[in-house]
Amino acid sequence: MVGVSELVVEVDGLRVSYGSVVVLEDVALSAAPGEIVAVMGVNGAGKSTLLSCLAGLRRPSGGTIRVLGGPPRDTAGYWRQVVLVADLPTWYPGLTVREHIELVRMTNAPTDGWCLEPDELIDAFALASRADAVPLTLSSGQRQRLSLACALARPSDLLLLDEPEQSLDAGFRKQLACLLRDSYAPSGGTVVMATHDLEFAQVAGARRVLIEDGCATEEPT
């Protein structure tokens, strides 16, 4: 059992509402270093909202959130430790796929923790044939691969993934789940991901948390 002080993510009594509509009510969640947590639930259950709160992009109406020992902050120091891969990523105009991956790596230097080299990422994410392409011209699945590749091009302590399986083919989903389980998590990285794909969560060896009616409940493995 990991001590409370060592937890990477600690959420207690979280409440989030959009106007009069309460999306999350009294949600509790924790994640230890090296752990993969899959947040599951039907559309509109509040999975993405929970990730936004962990990333510090949305202020909750109530409760406490502690990420890496403190509240989510909008600072460069926090961003170096936490990576969020959400839907609809934007890319810099006039830069290629390879240049984006290299830029992420270089702006996060020194790269002391676990991460993959740009060449390794391009091969692992099957982007070799499109390495010189502008991200705009990629298919939706390739764009999703690029977002994930950028997230793994730099060291981090917490990876927040919002439906990472989106637009990915079945083979690559499995490959990604294995990468997270066998490489990222053993290096001490924590993953909290919102997903609808039970098989993906199972292959990744994730602890499953179900959000239903605004509350989170642990699912049996």
Partner 1 sequence: MTAGTTALVPGVAPRLATVRKFTRRQRQGRWLDWYAAGFGVLLACIYLGNFLVQPLRRLSSGARGLPVGQGETGLALVIAAAAGLLLLAQSLGPLTLSPADASWLLMSPLDRRGVLRSSLRALTGAAALAGALLGVLALAMAGPYIRAFTPARLGDWLLLAAVAGGALAVAMVDVLLLLQPHQERVRPAARVLLRVIALAAVAFAVAGEHWAGLPRAVARGLAPVSLAATSTVTVAAVVLAAVAGLAAWARLRSFPADVLWADSAHAGRVRLAAAFLNVQLLGWIAEDNYWRRRVLASRPWPKRKPWQARLSAAWLSAAQPSPAFLLAWTDWRRLGRRPGTLLALAASAIAPALVTGALTGTARGVASAAVLLFGGMAAASQGCAALRRDTNDATLRRIIGVAPRPSLVARVVLPALLAAGWLALALGLLASAGVLHARDAGSAPAALLWVTLGVVAGPGLAASAMRLARTAPIDATALGGLDTGAGTMPTWLISRIFSVILGLVGIFPLVAAVIAAFGGLHGPGAGSSGASRGLSHGLSAGTIVVQAVLSAALLSLYLLSASPSGGPRDSTGLPGQE
Binding region for partner 1 (CB under 8 A): 55-59, 74-76, 79-80, 82-99, 102-104, 106-109, 131-137, 143, 147, 150-151, 154
Closest distance of CB 210 from partner 1, Å:
25
Distance CA 132, CA 138 (A): 11
Which of residues 22 and 57 has its CB atom nearest to partner 1 in the complex?
A: 57
Residue 18, C-beta contacts closer than 8 angstroms, at least 6 positions apart: none
Distance CA 192, CA 92 (A): 26
Which of residues 27 and 127 has its CB atom nearest to partner 1 in the complex?
A: 127
Closest distance of CB 47 from partner 1, Å:
16
Which of residues 139 and 217 has its CB atom nearest to partner 1 in the complex?
A: 139
Closest distance of CB 157 from partner 1, Å:
12
Closest distance of CB 175 from partner 1, Å:
21
Count Cα neighbours of 90 within 13 Å in the Cβ-side half-sphere: 2
Which of residues 98 and 208 has its CB atom nearest to partner 1 in the complex?
A: 98
Distance CA 106, CA 109 (A): 5
Residue 30, H or E segment: strand 21-31
Structure tokens at 106: 């270089």
